[in-house]
A = this chain, B = another copy of it.
Amino acid sequence: MSGIRPVRDEWYGYLGGTMTTLAFLPQVVKTLRTRETRSISLGMYLLFTAGVFLWLVYGIRLHALPMILANGITLLLSFVLLVAKWRWK
């Protein structure tokens, strides 16, 4: 994946991606467990989800696997939250 770049550069991305994705997880777990979505801002999550989608496209364009994985997983989680918001009030 890394081509002309040293492989170890990618690890900043993998570690950063793991951390920012893990930081997002408690909200998803809480929402799925409580089915309570009243205090979640729809506008904020629509903006966030669209932004993460564009980061994913950018990562694909850069052939940067850490960006593709981290933003792919975060997009999925964020999409779960949007569906939860839409289904549960």
Contact = CB atoms under 8 A, between A and B. Distances in A.
Interface of A: 5, 9-10, 12-13, 15-23, 26, 41, 44-45, 47-48, 50-55, 57-58, 61-62, 64, 66
Say how many copies of this protein the assembly contains: 2
A44 B15 CA distance: 15
A73 to B, nearest CB: 13
Interface of A is mostly: helix
A52 B20 contact: yes
A13 B47 contact: no
A22 B43 CA distance: 11
Nearest to A41: B26
Nearest 10 A/B pairs, CB to CB: A19-B51, A16-B54, A20-B51, A12-B58, A23-B48, A16-B55, A13-B58, A9-B61, A23-B47, A12-B57
